[in-house]
Structure 1
Amino acid sequence: MAKIALGSSREATQPDCIKALVIEFVATFLFVFAGVGSAMAADKLGADPFVGLLAVALAHTLVVAVMISAGHISGGHLNPAVTLGLLFGGHITVFRSFLYWIDQLFASAAACYLLQYLTGGLATPIHTLSSGVSALQGVVWEIILTFSLLFTVYATLVDPKRTSHGAQGAILTGLVVGANILAGGPFSGASMNPARSFGPALASWDWTDHWIYWVGPLIGGGLGGLVYENFFISRSHTILPTNEDAF
């Protein structure tokens, strides 16, 4: 069972942490800008729903793959659910996780407000449940989709026995995000990412079904990290060396 390192407030003043936070902000900002921007473009062009879904899925596939690689200094999380999954696997401290979550939310909000300005005030489309999809169904959708995302992250980027190179792992992670959008987009919206949902909701001030995109992804991300770390990775040493208390 992986130990979860608490960390300490001293991390916030360490150069490596500051650099990681800057990179995480930039990578998350660019990810949300491209992801939300693609949805806004599809709406503006009046694209056929299926064509629009394909365009949004492709945009997310590409930008996730690139930003994970570009954000390698911070780990390229881009997503509070990914950070939580890595926290449960002992790969990041609790304190630094909170810093990452704040960073990701601010980056998402900044990207969406800038998009509103650049598009002349167009509303940023929010994640919300489709007609006929219940709240429970939406939560389960998001749990499964985010679990598959974390399973892929661990299998292709974290597992020391992985066969893929880091760049290949980033591409494979982008592909699973795109596939999940194609599968779940017409039902739950396939967020898999509380930060990705937070920015548009804040900029549009529309919080319809918003809680689902926290509960589902965080459960799925946490489970994905716990399951892969404890059932599929064999380690003979402490994952995250720390002088702080751990549990």
Structure 2
Amino acid sequence: MAVPLSRALVAEGLGTFALVFFGPGAAVVQAQTGALGHLGVAAVFGLTVTAVIAALAPISGAHINPAATFALTLAGKFPRARVLPYVAAQLLGAVLAAFVLLALFGLKGGLGVTVPAGSVAQAFVLELVLTFFLLLVALRSGLPWVVGGVVALGAAMGGPITGASMNPARSFGPALASGLWTAHWLYWAAPLLGAVLAVAANHVLSPTEPVEPRPHLAQEFQPEGEPT
């Protein structure tokens, strides 16, 4: 039986809330205390994504990212009628989490807002590449720890340069709460373009002949009742 849209939207909102609360929240704590370190912040992002996928993928697919929803739609694995509601739930969850962080910490660390540390062109290409590999892995592997590991990897490598967003909702929430919109457009354009390229690469890599199913692999982005 298909999961009702209302339940899926609650799961998407909660999952994206968790991502922004713990991820940018870790950056805020690092700015205030220096206790986590850069790699610690990256690890928090990865662990959060791992936990959210493991807990919520059976309900909504645990996209928690408009770029992921876009990629799945392009790949024909997600119904178009649910795209806008999913994105709205993701943005709402991100905004609520960012305002909770604002209430707790003020503008410490800019609420983990994503802004380029170098040129806009450099940031665009880096966000594009990071999102490409994140979504390619997500499309080809359903293991929560694998996807979470790629998020941590991207945050460790790209965080000092772009904030390693790879997710328009993750960037939108802190930007709205902090009022810092520097080059915000690229945190939408680069991930969405990365999604297009990831879907194209996945299509090229997919076998032309059917392969035997591997039921031991959990399928990320595959809510209950959705066709595989």
Superposed pair shares fold, TM > 0.5? yes
The letter for the 1-side match of 2:33 is L
Q: Percent identity?
A: 39
> Does the CA contact (< 8 Å) of 2:95 and 2:173 recur in 1?
yes
Per-residue CA distance 1:202-232 (angstroms, 9 max, x = gap): 0001101111101111110222123203541
Q: Deviations over 1:137-168 (max 9, x none)?
A: 111101100000011101112xxxxxxxxxxx
- Cα separation, 2, equivalents of 1:140 and 1:121: 28
When normalised by structure 2's length, the TM-score is 0.86
User: Residue 28 of structure 1 aligns with which residue?
Assistant: 16
* Equivalent in 182, 186, 194 of residue 208 of structure 1: 182
Cα drift, residue 189 of structure 1: 1.7
- Give the Cα–Cα distance (whole angstroms) in 2 for the partners of residues 121 and 217 of structure 1: 26
CA–CA distance in 2 between the matches of 1:234 and 1:65?
A: 31
* Aligned-residue RMSD, C-alpha: 1.9
Kindly report structure 1 stretches of 4+ aligned residues shifted beyond 6 Å.
none
Alpha-carbon spacing, 1:30–1:233, altered in 2? closer, same or farther (3 Å): farther
Instruction: Kindly indicate whether the alpha-carbon contact (under 8 Å) linking 2:136 and 2:198 is maintained by their aligned counterparts in 1.
Output: yes
Q: What is the aligned partner in structure 1 of residue 61 from structure 2?
A: 75
> Letter of the aligned partner of 1:173 in structure 2?
V
**Deviation at residue 15 of structure 1 after TM alignment:** 6.0
Q: State which of 115, 120, 124 in structure 2 corresponds to 1:128.
A: 115
More helix per residue: 1 or 2?
Answer: 2
Give yes or no for contact 1:81–1:222 (8 Å, CA) kept in 2: no
The answer as to whether partners of 2:17 and 2:94 remain within 8 angstroms in 1 is yes
2:223 corresponds in structure 1 to none
Aligned residues: 209
Query: One-letter code of the match for 1:29?
Result: F
Q: Which runs of 5+ in 1 are unaligned?
A: 1-13, 158-168, 242-247
Instruction: Tell me the TM-score normalised to structure 1 length.
Output: 0.79
- 1:146-225 matches, cutoff 5 A: 146-157=131-142, 169-225=143-199
CA contact (8 A) 2:155 2:164 kept: yes
CA gap 1:120/1:205 in 2 versus in 1, 3 angstroms: closer
Is the CA contact 1:23–1:74 (under 8 Å) kept in the aligned structure 2? yes
**Cα distance change on mapping 1:56 and 1:235 into 2, 3 Å:** farther
